[in-house]
Amino acid sequence: MSRSTTALTCTLTLSIILHAPLALAKTPVATGSGGAVATISEKASQSALAILNKGGNAVDAAVAAAATLGVTDPFSCGIGGGGFMVIYLAKDKRVITIDHRETAPSSFTPAVFLEAGKEIDFEKAVASGAAVGVPGTVRGWHEALERYGTMNFKQVLAPAIDVANKGFTVSETFSHLTRENERKFQQFGSTSALYLRNGKAVTAGTLLRNPDMAKAYREIAAKGQRAFYEGPMARAIVDAVNQPPVANGASVRPGKMTLADLTNYEARIRQPVVSTYRGYELYGMPLPSSGGVTVAEALNILEGYDLKSMPRANAEHLYLEASRLAFADRNAYLADPEYVDAPVAGLLSKEFAAERRKQIDLKRAAADVSAGDPYLYQQDQSIPLRPQPRPMQRENAHTTHFTVSDKDGNVVSYTFTIESWGGSGIVVPGYGFLLNNEMTDFDFSGPRPNVPEAGKRPRSSMAPTIALKNGKPAFTIGSPGGSTIITTVLQTIVNHVDFGMPMDAAINAPRLSERNGATTSVEPGFAGSAQAQALAGFGHKWEEPAEEIGAANAIVFNPDGTVTAVSEGKRHGVGTALVQKRAH
């Protein structure tokens, strides 16, 4: 996700726990002592539950749900993209992460999005082969299943294959997103054939089948991840990138991806970002996602205030200002750790947070702030260069997040994406899945830590989070929304932990997203509210995008042993949360 403020990274949050099947309905909150699911896709929920009912664990169910979401919600996620998975292993009482973010093809240079020294048009960059990164999702699923699952690809992909073959009923949201992408989809013959009818979006109520995606899943089920990264499917991906299947005389930028780029792709098992906040241990995604570090830094800053005792407007003012400071540091320092020696230890330091806290005026919003110097708060001070301030790059916002928990206490918090709604717009001919436009998450020009380089993973904002208290899972949270993912996760944690709001109220509260700009992004209708007027007294100014901010989902592990699954109560068409009684 890259470049200023387009916020909506379609992040589905799926929360699963286990056992006997239930009829699904749009109930955004459910509490019980057994299994639970909260997702925007009933089909994905059914797939996950089917796997759990067959004895699969949370990792197995997560892959099953994710594969089905690739069918029913293909504009935000799928095997043509990548993601970040945070896993709590109950038996070992530890958290690990799987980074399967897309990588830049070996042909990439820092000038790939420049012409005559100037940045190319962003939208033209999106709808192109040049925007496509080497997909990591299938390799990530492979690592998750091999290391931490109990089932194989054949078992967990079976539900998604069934949905792709039989089809699903197009919702109004699906149809709306297709209409939003008509111009992009019209440029590619394979995409038009799948999602358009006579050049126009499929209408709500249409039964949509995707036999080509079923074919792709069947090949992966039979041959494992090698079916994707080698052989006919890999060749089809490379051909689609380098010679996009254009229609109607469209002209788009080709890419330069090779079969070796696919064959050489590796997922990374990384240690999570670990921080503390008011008695909770928070586990988030490390670089190349900036989500974990930025949320942790902002919470460290806020920890110095007694937010509970303050008037709400004063506390929310501090939330906005802490976010502003953390984003200044994020933009200055964070990128792929294999290319940039980012000062993560300094950024996570409580002492650094105390220093940054001094920049906050309790009564007045800052216009914008400069990055701090975290190098002074870690042992390694060997990097003398300091970044120069630059405007924040545009970052698309369409991703999918879900969280899963099983009867044994394992938990998965998973965010994956193809970047923009509909990714690059290119459906791989014969295989039915959209390719990402993740390379537009790089900064188009430098010098900056997040410039394009061969093999590099673009910086992300995805922030799948698992919170523990007294060594046991307390809650999970995650969202879509590009760079607003960070503020959605941060604000929800503050609402739940500091303001004592039940998780459903914490999620449904109006979202305010401050990313060190002259204005704060808010949701439609907020600007005229009493809450907005109170914050305007501190000098905050509003930017009101046309769309909602994020689509969060969560699981809360209650002290009495029950579980509450929480989805959106009003955004994204309202989510579905279910909890089942455990079989005895």
Determine the pLDDT at residue 2: 37
| 399 tagged catalytic | yes
Determine the pLDDT at residue 169: 94
User: Is 468 among the domain residues?
Assistant: yes
Determine the pLDDT at residue 21: 35
Determine the pLDDT at residue 547: 83
In single-letter form, the type of residue at position 513 comes to S
Residues 6+ apart with CB under 8 A from 226: none
User: Is 129 among the domain residues?
Assistant: yes
The CATH number of residue 47's host domain is 3.60.20.40
Residues 6+ apart with CB under 8 A from 280: 467, 468, 469, 474, 497
Dihedrals phi, psi of 414, to nearest 5 degrees: -135, 125
Give me 50's structure tokens.
Answer: 């089917």
User: Is 326 among the domain residues?
Assistant: no
Residues 6+ apart with CB under 8 A from 364: 538, 539
For 186-311, where are the alpha helices, taking DSSP H only?
A: 189-195, 211-223, 226-229, 232-242, 259-263, 291-302
The overall pTM is greater than 0.85: yes
Nearest to 129 by CA among 248, 243, 3: 243
Determine the pLDDT at residue 518: 92
Give yes or no for a contact between 30 and 565, defined as CB atoms under 8 angstroms apart.
yes
Pick the catalytic residue from 5, 6, 39, 399: 399
The single residue listed with the structure tokens 């830049």 is 104
Task: For residue 241, give the 3-state DSSP assignment.
Answer: helix
Give yes or no for a contact between 462 and 84, defined as CB atoms under 8 angstroms apart.
yes
User: Is 18 among the domain residues?
Assistant: no
Q: Into how many domains does the chain fold?
A: 1
d(CA 175, CA 163): 18
User: Is 295 among the domain residues?
Assistant: no
d(CA 60, CA 155): 9
Give yes or no for a contact between 121 and 127, defined as CB atoms under 8 angstroms apart.
no
Please confirm whether the linkage preceding 159 is cis (ω < 30° from 0): no
Determine the pLDDT at residue 20: 31
d(CA 485, CA 397): 8
Q: What is the pLDDT along the chain (584 residues), one digit of tens a residue?
A: 333 333 333 333 343 333 333 333 478 887 877 666 666 777 887 888 788 889 999 999 999 999 999 999 999 999 999 999 999 999 999 999 999 999 999 999 999 999 999 999 999 999 999 999 999 999 999 999 999 999 999 999 999 999 999 999 999 989 999 999 999 999 999 999 999 999 999 999 999 999 999 999 999 999 999 999 999 999 999 999 999 999 988 899 999 999 999 999 999 999 999 999 999 999 999 999 999 999 999 999 999 999 999 999 999 999 999 999 999 999 999 999 999 999 999 999 999 999 999 999 999 999 889 999 998 898 765 554 555 555 555 555 567 788 788 888 899 999 999 999 999 999 999 999 999 999 999 999 988 899 999 999 999 999 999 999 999 999 999 998 889 999 999 999 999 999 999 999 999 999 999 999 999 999 999 999 999 999 999 999 999 876 889 989 899 999 998 888 888 888 877 877 676 555 43
Determine the pLDDT at residue 6: 34
Query: What is residue 267's DSSP assignment?
Result: -
User: Is 512 among the domain residues?
Assistant: yes
User: Is 180 among the domain residues?
Assistant: yes
Give yes or no for a contact between 7 and 461, defined as CB atoms under 8 angstroms apart.
no
For 243-285, where are the alpha helices, taking DSSP H only?
A: 259-263
Nearest to 41 by CA among 221, 169, 216: 169
Dihedrals phi, psi of 83, to nearest 5 degrees: 180, -170
The single residue listed with the structure tokens 């039989």 is 166
Helical (H) or strand (E) element with 115? strand 114-115
Q: Which domain holds residue 208?
A: 29-268+394-579
Give yes or no for a contact between 140 and 85, defined as CB atoms under 8 angstroms apart.
yes
Dihedrals phi, psi of 440, to nearest 5 degrees: -75, 0
Nearest to 14 by CA among 80, 93, 72, 91: 72
User: Is 317 among the domain residues?
Assistant: no
